Amino acid sequence: MEALAEILSLCAEKRKVRYEDIELKEDLKAEALLLLERERLLLPSETSKSLAWEDRVLIPEAGREYEMPNVIVYLIKKAEESGEWNPNYAVERCLKEAGEKEAEKVLDLFNMVKEMCERGVVTPDILEKAAEKLSLISRIGTVIAELKGCGIISPCLREATKRGTLIYEVNPSLY
């Protein structure tokens, strides 16, 4: 557990980290990277098609680079300062940093969406319903772009092809 905390602290400080920067035995390093990627705390920089999380290519070997989503940087820094895992703080802070003037409202939207979605899967309908309740519907495109840019949600393009509608994955570390 201490090793994971050290990796997260290093990544929150640098935003990007190379495989060689992670000081663990090779087998433990690979396991740690798999866990951190699954929880969307750290993502491979390399992609196969798009910037969507599902298209990131995790190869735990020398020369590879990994990056931390912006919202996770705030989550980790707050945890280091206070010992508290505070997703609401991280989301609001990240949105403000991105220039969102109604960060509190968008945070409310995010919390509504988390309650309405199933297993972290968000549809445009869910986003639109929450946006309507908070009078953000006229800005929903901008809000979605900010949520994606902050690392709060990511499109699931393969699943969208199966379902015939765009869907998003909520960063599981924000629950």
Structure tokens at 162: 């199966």
Q: Which two tokens stand for residue 48?
A: 């196969």
pLDDT of residue 44: 97
**Residue 162 pLDDT:** 86
Give the pLDDT score at 158.
Answer: 86
**38: nearest Cα among 20, 17, 53:** 53
Those residues whose C-beta lies under 8 Å from the C-beta of residue 165, and which sit 6 or more positions away, are 123, 124
Question: Are β-strands 168-170 and 153-155 bridged in parallel, bridged antiparallel, or unpaired?
Answer: antiparallel
Helices (H), 15-139: 26-38, 70-82, 87-97, 103-116, 124-133
Mean pLDDT by 10 residues, the chain (175 residues): 92 97 93 97 93 94 97 99 98 98 98 96 96 98 97 92 91 98
Write down the pTM of the prediction: 0.94
pLDDT of residue 159: 84
